[in-house]
Amino acid sequence: KVIKTTMYFLPFGICSLMAVQFSNIGFAFFASVLKFILLIYSTALIIFLISTFVIYKKSGTSYANQFKHLGEAIMIAFGTRNSFATIPSIITGLHKGMGFNEDKVNLATPLGITLCRYGNVMIFSTGAVFAVQLYNSPMNLQTLFMIAFTAVMAGMATSGAPGMVARTMISMVLAPIGIPSEAIIVMLMALDPIIDPITTLINVYPNCAATCLIAAQDESKNFKYQRSAAEGKNQSPNLA
Q: What confidence tens digit (pLDDT) does each residue in 55-105 have?
A: 998 888 889 989 889 988 998 888 888 888 899 999 999 988 888 888 888
pLDDT above 60: residue 228: no
Rg (alpha carbons) of the chain, rounded to whole number: 23
- How many other CB atoms are found less than 10 A from the CB of residue 107? 14
> What single letter denotes the amino acid at residue 221?
K
What percentage of the chain exceeds 90 in pLDDT?
A: 23
Q: Is 60 exceeded by the pLDDT of residue 231?
A: no
Model-level pTM? 0.76
- The number of residues making up the chain comes to 240
**Nearest residue to 40 (alpha-carbon basis) of 102, 129, 103, 113:** 129
pLDDT at 7: 61
Q: What pLDDT, on the 0 to 100 scale, is given for residue 227?
A: 37
Closest CA to 17 of 208, 152, 213, 183: 183
Q: Please, which pLDDT band fits residue 217 given cuts at 50, 70 and 90?
A: low
178 in Cβ contact with 137 (< 8 Å)? yes
Under DSSP, is residue 61 helix (H, G, I), strand (E, B) or coil? Answer: coil
Give CA 22 to chain center in angstroms. Answer: 30
Measured CA to CA, the distance from residue 148 to residue 173 in angstroms comes to 9
Count CA atoms closer than 13 A to 68's CA, side-chain side: 8
174-179 average pLDDT score = 89
Q: What percent of the chain has pLDDT over 70?
A: 78
Q: How confident is the model at residue 150 (pLDDT cuts 50, 70, 90)?
A: very high
Phi then psi for 99, rounded to 5 degrees?
80, 20
**How far is C-alpha 43 from the geometric centre of its chain's CA atoms?**
11
pLDDT attached to residue 240: 42
Which pLDDT score is estimated for 116? 87
pLDDT at 13 over 80: no
